[in-house]
Amino acid sequence: MTVPMEIGVPEEPLRPTPEMVLGPFYPAGHRIGLRADLVRPEKGRLKSPLQGQPLCLNGCLLDTSHAPVPGAQVEIWQADTFGRYRHPGDQHPAPLDTSFVGHGVQRTDVQGRFHFSTLKLGAYSLAPGVMRAPHIHFQVTAGHRRLVTQMFFDGEALNASDRLLKQVRFPERLVATVQAMKTGTCVALLATWDIVLMRV
């Protein structure tokens, strides 16, 4: 006996991406405007070769009904490969890559997609014996909807002990899938992570 297929069955609603704290190193000072490339500094600002592994970050902004959210502002900021932020408040003794922008802003396209070119960042210490796993901060603004969160990397050993990630109810929703890809002579990383906002 053939079981007829159900037609028009709605998809299960997506769960919203968990919120996280803004953090102490939200970009200060010089504003860069819409810029999705954190690897190539603005003209005249390259002081030394960039340090770290190239990272391509792709994703899609959706609402809980699976619909794309176009025209939203997606802002990211992150530490460099040494775990230092380009921020006057970060006084960690690690080196600072002065050629790395560390901050990007983009608007989603008609399909809700966003893309950033950046570098794989390092972990850093919050206090003796307390390490933060590598993560990228996100702030998403779509009309009156605003989400502040953080993205982590699949396979990072420090994810299991990151105390902020452990406080999230569904931490797996903040972890991007990561794979290596070869571009010419360079091996870059591709991170894929979708963000879900509450439906209006």
26 catalytic? Reply is no
Among candidate residues 84, 87, 103, 132, the one labeled active-site is 132
Label residues 98-130 b or e (16+ Cβ within 10 Å = b): ebbbbbbbbebeeebbbebbbbbbbbbeeeeee
Which listed residue (84, 85, 86, 103) is catalytic?
85
Tell me which of 15, 137, 146, 169 is the catalytic residue: 137
One of 86, 87, 103, 135 is an active-site residue; which one? 135
Two tokens, residue 170: 């569904």
Active site residue 124: yes
d(CA 92, CA 96): 9
What does the block give as tokens for 23? 């953090």
* Residue 85 annotated to the active site: yes
**Which residues are CB-neighbours of 159 under 8 A, at least 6 positions away?**
133, 152, 153, 165, 171, 175
Contact 78, 27 (CB under 8 A): no
Q: Strand 103-107 and strand 73-77: pairing?
A: antiparallel
Q: Which residue has the tokens 């819409």?
A: 34
* Cα torsion through 48, 38, 178, 63, rounded to 10: 170
Question: Phi and psi (nearest 5°) for 75?
Answer: -120, 135
Catalytic residue numbers read 85, 124, 132, 135, 137
